[in-house]
Amino acid sequence: MPTSAREPIIRLGLQIPSFTYPDVPDDRLFERVAEIARTAEESGFDSVWVMDHFYQIPTVGRRDEPMFDAYLLLGALAAVTSRVKLATMVTGVTYRNPAHLAKLVTGLDVLSCGRAILGIGAAWNDDEHRGMGFDFPPLKERFERLEEALQICRAMFTQDAPSFQGTHYRIESVLNVPRPVTPGGPPILVGGSGERKTIPLLARYGDASNFFGDVDTIRHKVQVVENACEAIGRDPAEITKTRLGGIVVGKTQEDAERRGQEFARLRGMDEERARWYAVYGDRDEVGEQVQAYLDAGLDGMVFNLHDAWDLERVALTGEVLGRLLHVGQLAKP
């Protein structure tokens, strides 16, 4: 069963989606990623996230830009951080055998002394499936696989030697030692916002969710989660509800506007799409926008910066949002 903790699993996360940094050669890439993660930790973020992709995705950069295996990278980040939780946003169910995935995430939990989160979804990137030789079954089957994977991972987090026989996966008296450090195992975030399949799976198996969209979209998705939980007799407060999007904090309104336009250009978005996806403004404007999302029902937010290689920008963003968090302005009324 999902955990019953009601404190939000995360409040303020930094996603690192790109490893293409000015004047940083490959043999210094991890050094810079580690600096980004440590800066995030020191400035107020409570979690660090990476995408689980093998090719860079179109909305972030070129297909042939550098990408790390997510769990290799998170394991390395566990050794150079001490407080932030570590997770993917999110792992595609088709990329790994679910028992192997549970073993990887359990190992990350042990290496990080209890800071792992399992982020998982139904997968979507057919291009990298084709390139890597992974099967990319139809959507219906991917959701069947996702449900079985959720059951296997939960069982391996909570039971000593579970067995499971499904349509697509099986385990037999499987061992998962060392056991997770986190009581009940690492929390499970089910990625996606589909109302017919994803959110019902979240209500049944998940501890956290993540959505995209503007305030009205988020308010609607939160209501759908609450309805799905109530339909199976679960308290929706047990699920941490978050949103992933971009952020640009300017030192002034003019600085924010200029950086916001740069963000939209680099992500290939028009202004309307950029405003739908990203939060940007000066300190006060960003605070007001974030509060509006929390008032719509979110427990936390995850952000990415198009210039995360600039440690000063990471520190400024963490300082602005972290300070608000500490004084309660990000707390739901």
The pLDDT tens digits of the residues spanning 53-69 come to 999 999 899 999 999 99
| Residue 89 resides in a domain | yes
pLDDT value at residue 326: 52
Domain assignment present for 131: yes
* pLDDT of 259: 86
Specify the pLDDT at position 327: 34
Q: Which tens digits make up the pLDDT trace of 258-268?
A: 888 888 888 88
What pLDDT sits at residue 331? 44
Within a domain: residue 162? yes
Predicted local distance difference test score (pLDDT) of residue 330: 47
Domain annotation covers residue 267: no
Residue 264, in any domain of the structure? no
**What's the pLDDT at 263?**
85
Q: What is the 3-state secondary structure (H, E, C) of the chain?
A: CCCCCCCCCCCEEEEECCCCCCCCCHHHHHHHHHHHHHHHHHHCCCEEEECCCCCCCCCCCCCCCCCCCHHHHHHHHHHHCCCCEEEECCEEHHHCCHHHHHHHHHHHHHHCCCCECEEEECCCCHHHHHHHCCCCCCHHHHHHHHHHHHHHHHHHHHCCCCCEECCCCEECCCCCCCCCCCCCCCCEEEECCCCCCHHHHHHHHCCEEEECCCHHHHHHHHHHHHHHHHHCCCCHHHCEEEEEEEEEECCCHHHHHHHHHHHHHHCCCCHHHHHHHEEEECHHHHHHHHHHHHHCCCCEEEEECCCCCCHHHHHHHHHHHHHHHHHCCCCCC
**Segment 117-149, tens digit of pLDDT:** 999 999 999 999 999 999 999 999 999 999 999
Total domains, the chain: 1
- Look at residue 271 and tell me if it is in a domain: no
In a domain, 37, yes or no: yes
Stretches where the chain sits below pLDDT 50 are 327-333
The domain in which residue 22 lies consists of 12-248+286-327
Question: Can you give the pLDDT at residue 1?
Answer: 60
Question: Is 266 part of any domain?
Answer: no
Give the CATH number for residue 132: 3.20.20.30
